[in-house]
Amino acid sequence: MLSFKYDKKIDEHCRRRIVRAKKMFGHSFPTKFNISKKQIAIAKEMSNHFQKVWGKHGKKILNGVKKIYKHSIPTKFSVFINTSPYSMDGYPGKYISVSMHAKKTRRILSSISHELSHFVFRQYFTKFCRNLGCTKDEIEEIKEVLTVINNVEIPGVSDKGWQVHSNLRKWTKKNWSINPNIKSIIKVLHKLSIPH
């Protein structure tokens, strides 16, 4: 059972990552941040809500991620709620951080499955991508494209992804139904034109 909690240090770390990124996948991020006491209180309250949602639906997410990647998340793994509008994986730390703004069940499940997919991809397929000759940027692009498979394999998930990847996500979803093999999909994505 995953545990959901708020940790200010993790929240600040996530916010700093957003500020450092500046711009990614055609989207600009905030240049500074301030975490208020009110935001912290809401995040702590939302951690209980997320825990309840996970209790009802978590097993299907874990099963779906394992079906896609043929690997599970680590035994000791945490989900931290952050105050930003963005969710992210904490690899190589054994955690993900999900935005407190994901309030409805479908968005909560979509955000969690998206970040769990990123974590498992980073842990088990980064080396595979490097061996194919993928650059660091290509690896980031591929990990974002692949989360569309969650829409096929995990009930109740609606992973929209970034607009810049829409064509590759359509291709990936279609071809996953023909050949559900993650390494085969990664090989073709590497050969296709990845937009930057």
Express as a percent the part of the chain with pLDDT over 70. 98
Task: For the chain, give the mean pLDDT.
Answer: 93
pLDDT digits (tens, 9 = 90+) for 155-193: 999 999 988 899 999 999 999 999 999 999 999 999 886
This prediction has a pTM of: 0.93
Count of residues in the chain:
196
DSSP classification of residue 101:
T
Q: What was the pLDDT predicted at 196?
A: 45
| Residue 23 reports pLDDT greater than 90 | no
Neighbouring C-alpha atoms within 13 Å toward the C-beta of 139: 18
Determine how β-strand 3-5 pairs with β-strand 78-82. parallel
pLDDT digits (tens, 9 = 90+) for 117-158: 999 999 999 999 999 999 999 999 999 999 999 999 999 999
Block residue for tokens 């905030």: 30
Block residue for tokens 């359509």: 170
Q: What was the pLDDT predicted at 31?
A: 78
| Residue 194 reports pLDDT greater than 70 | no
Phi/psi at 27 (5° precision) = -125, 135
pLDDT digits (tens, 9 = 90+) for 60-115: 999 999 999 999 999 899 999 999 999 999 999 999 999 999 989 999 999 999 99
Tokens of 116: 């769990």
Give the pLDDT band (50/70/90) at residue 25.
confident
Pick from 60, 68, 61, 62: nearest CA to 179: 68
* Cβ neighbours of residue 126 closer than 8 Å, sequence gap 6 or more: 139
Alpha-carbon distances of 129 from 42, 71, 141, 168, rounded to whole Å? 39, 16, 11, 17
